[in-house]
Amino acid sequence: MKINILCFINLTENFWNLLINFDKKKLKRILPIALLFATVLCSCDNSNTTKNDKEKTVSKDTSSNSLVTLSATNSITEMLCQNWEDKADIDDGVLSGAGDGDLLIPFRSYVFFDDGSVVINPRDIMKTGKWKLDEKSKRISIVLEDGSKKDCQINAIGVKSLLLKTGAGKPGKYVADGKKHSVLSDDPFYPANNKWRIKPAHVEDASAIKKRIIDCVNFYSKFFKDNADHGARSISFYGLPSCFKWYAGGISITNKAKLNQKWIDCFYNKEQAVQGQQLLENIIGKKFKWDKTQPRWVRQSADVLLQMADSLK
């Protein structure tokens, strides 16, 4: 039991004064009152402390993740392997836009991975490929999936800042948080997690569309978890293809008449995009378990999305 020490000392001093200054008859009347007051004081303080401790326990996020910090590394290659976002686009508030329309301001970024994979502009016209770094010249050579090539020059790099020349103009400033996933597949922008976004070259059958939707739902589960792992104060869905509507503690599906072009472009045609939307609409009414013991709705949503993906299998 935790006691307010200053109050207890004052009470004790007063009590001894009573012993000195009062006769026995008066002391008999005062002693029970003093003891009662001390008991109430201790009880009240202990009650408040317990409540505050409980509130701190409930709000604490103790979920595990595969993030590792890069603060101790001096290796250019290791520092490079994380999600780099264009600082000018961040400063312009691009990510604060709605992100669900067809006319979007491009948001530029590079995501480099330890296995040599790279994703360019995952929130815009996404491109994937392989990269290699010449540490002596600090030149990055990128070969994209379509066979095209792109070279970038590192002018300066730190754990959280990158000055990268990607074309004929001035070098661009990019920023990161100095963390990466040790398990590559935990990163939502890892290439294998984004294959559902690549438009197929031919009409797909029902099973292929279902797999595309399952992969989509799994992507968003990883996306929510990744934001929570990084301690993001807010989540931006800007530039990402989706037919979801997100709420704090709820998920709904966009009406098929209001599907945007970024969602449609993930499928062979609009008809197949609607088929994908319909699969989600068919399961959204099911009862999924929202973990009320989890203090963050972002992690709750990540778990519910996993349940949704399993229900589609």
Overall number of domains in the chain: 3
Place of tokens 């778990």: 303
Higher pLDDT, 51 or 290: 290
Classify the phi-psi angles of 20: left when phi > 0, otherwise alpha if psi is within -120 to 50, otherwise beta: alpha
Residues 233, 312, single domain; the answer is yes
Q: Which pLDDT score is estimated for 99?
A: 53
Of 252, 259, 285, the C-alpha closest to 274 is 259
Helix (H, G, I), strand (E, B) or coil at 69: strand
192 within domain boundaries: no
Residues 265, 302, single domain; the answer is yes
Q: Which pLDDT score is estimated for 63?
A: 76
Q: Is the confidence at residue 6, as pLDDT, over 80?
A: no
Residues 51, 127, single domain; the answer is no
Among 18, 37, 59, the domain boundary falls at: 59
Range of the domain at 47: 5-59
| 127-179 per-position pLDDT tens digit | 999 999 999 999 999 999 999 999 999 999 999 999 999 988 899 999 999 99
190 within domain boundaries: no
For residue 148, give the CATH number of its domain.
Answer: 2.40.128.370
Q: Is the confidence at residue 16, as pLDDT, over 80?
A: no
Residues 48, 73, single domain; the answer is no
Residues 210, 298, single domain; the answer is yes
Helix (H, G, I), strand (E, B) or coil at 255: coil
Q: For residue 3, what pLDDT band results from cuts at 50, 70 and 90?
A: very low
Residues 71, 131, single domain; the answer is yes
Residues 118, 222, single domain; the answer is no
Q: Which pLDDT score is estimated for 86?
A: 97
Q: For residue 103, what pLDDT band results from cuts at 50, 70 and 90?
A: low
111 within domain boundaries: yes
45 within domain boundaries: yes
Average pLDDT, the chain: 84
Q: Which pLDDT score is estimated for 167?
A: 87
Residues 52, 76, single domain; the answer is no
Q: Which pLDDT score is estimated for 78?
A: 97
Residues 87, 103, single domain; the answer is yes
| 167-194 per-position pLDDT tens digit | 888 999 999 999 999 999 999 999 999 9
> Rounded to two decimals, what is the model's pTM?
0.79
Residues 106, 21, single domain; the answer is no
Q: CB neighbours (10 Å) of residue 89?
A: 20
| 235-268 per-position pLDDT tens digit | 999 999 999 999 988 999 999 999 999 999 999 9
193 within domain boundaries: no
| 198-238 per-position pLDDT tens digit | 999 999 999 999 999 999 999 999 999 999 999 998 899 99
Residues 16, 91, single domain; the answer is no
| 24-51 per-position pLDDT tens digit | 444 444 444 444 444 433 343 333 333 3
Place of tokens 């519910």: 304
DSSP state, residue 165: E
Among 151, 184, 217, the domain boundary falls at: 184
Q: For residue 15, what pLDDT band results from cuts at 50, 70 and 90?
A: very low
The alpha carbon of 51 is separated from its chain's Cα centroid by a whole number of angstroms, namely 29
Residues 299, 220, single domain; the answer is yes
Among 59, 85, 101, the domain boundary falls at: 59
Please give the Cα distance from 114 to 135 (Å, whole number): 15
Q: Which pLDDT score is estimated for 42?
A: 39
